């Protein structure tokens, strides 16, 4: 099954000429491979080849590609009129409709046409490779090769190994991915594979925060962009991809893992999808859009119009918080004077629990999250019944640091701690159950989703395994929800004070 993809006659067939199939054919041709392009719909393959030629010509005009290279790539793409003409292919990549029966029928036909050592791969993003391979006699040569849209721009490709997939097939597809200019990661055959699974908490935890009334979608997005470094907030991203895609994907993965609470989504998510508020494609989703399709901005920053509090009471000794408040120009009181705002920085707790545990006057309490880039944005949290004047005075003082301030309602773990800890915990679980190596998990999340750091790297971002384990344990204690149970991978490294990417 070893393939020499460097030879001139190395041939890849692409079946299906939608956006994904076109993209796969383009990068294969640009990688120097001969490409056989087939689509059952009359004229579709010809139109796809013409589209690819136009894209490559445009790249050449913009100086991104030499004209000769563009012409040579197009010349390598050959439209095939009949399935039988796919026989010379060394590998076939299927990119047809996401329907199991259709894929099984295609794979049965390919088995009868291709030579025994040819590899058959599916670009499916949601169907188990084992389910597709069940239709084949030789399951060992069947695997997944999941590209990301738009293929020419997205460097990642997940090479999916099903239980019956031969190691040599994984090696062959990995080498093929590299020849196509992609970065392959090996992933086990599981619901959502790696990237789509790893991205679940980014949206579902954000939806839960919105449903609990902790903050608005715009406020949550602003916090995660500024404090963590995401290019887009979860609600912006859901609006871009469409809730008709995002919500069903959440359900598929939740059911695929037998209703694991860590993958659950929420009624608000369902309500938005079923009401037709799908995002940009319908002119409205979590955000409203103007007639030009531009997002209508929503407020995210708390006003700093009140007189800054001259004195602040430290809820408990905290060097990082003290430094922040001193830089903001506050006088810090070690003892409560009964009048000044009280400021604390709880880890994993909500303000109510924090106040009860320390015996604080919750009416004057303002909690601050010290996670992430606090020079850019601070999150201030108030408990129920908080004095608006005390909160406003404390917020105005926090604004003296130069950071933007978002005020949220009570939430165990604020926003950053909750969302980032959930992403990191799921990354640990993916490592625990062998979906991919820790290094490949992190690489895939960065390349496949433009995350500022990988899933396990998110644990380090929050302070390491012990700290994230503590955050999750406290959120679980406050909520009573099994959703926040720590992965055993995380727990063991926290107990032993090991780096989170320490292998078993």
How far is the CA of 140 from the CAs of 44, 117, 120, 225, in angstroms?
31, 10, 10, 43
Q: Which of the residues 190, 196, 199, 216 is marked catalytic?
A: 196
Which one, of 88, 139, 94, lies nearest residue 114 by Cα?
88
How far apart (Å, rounded) are the C-alpha atoms in residues 435 and 195? Answer: 10
How far is the CA of 30 from the CAs of 23, 56, 394, in angstroms?
11, 9, 58
- DSSP for residue 316: S
- DSSP for residue 171: H
Burial 470-502 (b: 16+ CB within 10 A, else e): bbbbbbbebbeeebbbbbebbbbbbeeeeebbe
Beta bridge partners of 279: 284
Which one, of 373, 367, 370, 375, lies nearest residue 403 by Cα?
375
Is 146 an active-site residue? yes
- DSSP for residue 410: -
Is 125 an active-site residue? yes
Q: What angle do CA 426, 445, 440 make, to 5 degrees?
A: 85
Beta bridge partners of 144: 122, 160
Is 196 an active-site residue? yes
How far apart (Å, rounded) are the C-alpha atoms in residues 209 and 214? Answer: 5
Helices of type H across 135-199: 167-179, 195-198
Is 171 an active-site residue? no
What are the percentages of helix, strand and coil residues in the chain, rounded to 5? 45, 15, 40
Helices of type H across 156-278: 167-179, 195-198, 200-211, 217-223, 234-241, 243-256, 267-274
Q: Which of the residues 123, 125, 352, 501 is marked catalytic?
A: 125
Q: Which of the residues 158, 219, 236, 429 is marked catalytic?
A: 158
Beta sheet of 34-38, edge-to-edge order: 77-79, 34-38, 11-15, 91-94, 119-122, 142-147, 156-161, 183-188
Which one, of 494, 450, 492, lies nearest residue 471 by Cα?
494
Residues catalogued as catalytic: 125, 146, 158, 196
């Amino acid at each position: 099954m070893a393939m020499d993809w460097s030879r001139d006659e190395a041939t890849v067939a692409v079946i299906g000429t939608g956006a994904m199939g076109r993209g796969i054919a383009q990068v294969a041709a640009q990688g120097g491979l001969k490409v056989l392009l087939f689509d059952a719909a009359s004229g579709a393959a010809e139109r796809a080849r013409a589209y690819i030629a136009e894209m490559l010509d445009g790249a050449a005009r913009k100086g991104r590609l030499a004209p000769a290279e563009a012409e040579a790539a197009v010349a390598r793409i050959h439209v095939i009129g009949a399935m039988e003409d796919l026989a010379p292919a060394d590998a076939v990549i299927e990119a047809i409709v996401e329907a199991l029966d259709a894929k099984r029928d295609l794979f049965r036909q390919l088995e009868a046409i291709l030579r025994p050592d040819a590899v058959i791969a599916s670009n499916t993003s949601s169907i188990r490779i084992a389910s597709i391979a069940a239709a084949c006699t030789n399951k060992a040569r069947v695997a997944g090769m999941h590209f990301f849209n738009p293929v020419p721009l997205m460097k990642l490709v997940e090479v999916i190994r099903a239980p019956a997939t031969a190691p040599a097939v994984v090696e062959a597809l990995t080498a093929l991915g590299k020849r196509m200019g992609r970065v392959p990661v090996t992933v086990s055959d599981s619901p959502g594979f790696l990237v789509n699974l790893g991205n679940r908490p980014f949206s579902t935890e954000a939806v839960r925060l919105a449903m609990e009334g902790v903050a608005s979608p715009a406020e949550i997005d602003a916090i995660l962009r500024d404090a963590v470094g995401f290019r887009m907030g979860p609600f912006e991203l859901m609006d871009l991809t469409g809730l008709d895609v995002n919500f069903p994907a959440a359900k598929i993965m939740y059911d695929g893992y037998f209703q694991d609470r860590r993958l659950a989504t929420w009624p608000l998510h369902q309500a938005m999808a079923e009401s037709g508020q799908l995002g940009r494609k319908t002119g409205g989703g979590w955000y409203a859009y103007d007639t030009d399709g531009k997002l209508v901005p929503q407020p995210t920053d708390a006003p700093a119009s009140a007189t800054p509090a001259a004195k602040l009471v430290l809820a408990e000794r905290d060097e990082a918080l003290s430094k922040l408040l001193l830089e903001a120009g506050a006088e810090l009181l070690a003892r409560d004077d009964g009048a000044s705002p009280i400021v604390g920085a709880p880890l994993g707790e909500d303000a109510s629990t924090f106040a009860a545990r320390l015996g604080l006057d919750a009416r004057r309490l303002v909690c601050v999250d010290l996670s992430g880039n606090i020079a850019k944005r601070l999150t201030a949290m108030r408990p129920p019944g908080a004095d608006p004047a005390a909160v406003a005075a404390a917020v105005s003082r926090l604004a003296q640091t130069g950071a933007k301030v978002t005020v949220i309602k009570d939430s165990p773990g604020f926003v950053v701690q909750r969302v980032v800890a959930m992403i990191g915990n799921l990354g640990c679980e993916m490592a625990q159950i062998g979906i991919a190596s820790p290094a490949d998990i992190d690489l895939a999340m960065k390349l496949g989703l433009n995350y500022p750091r990988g899933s396990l790297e998110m644990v380090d971002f929050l302070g390491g395994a012990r700290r994230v384990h503590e955050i999750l344990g406290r959120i679980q204690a406050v909520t009573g929800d099994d959703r926040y149970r720590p992965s055993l991978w995380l727990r063991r490294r926290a107990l032993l004070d090991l780096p989170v990417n320490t292998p078993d």
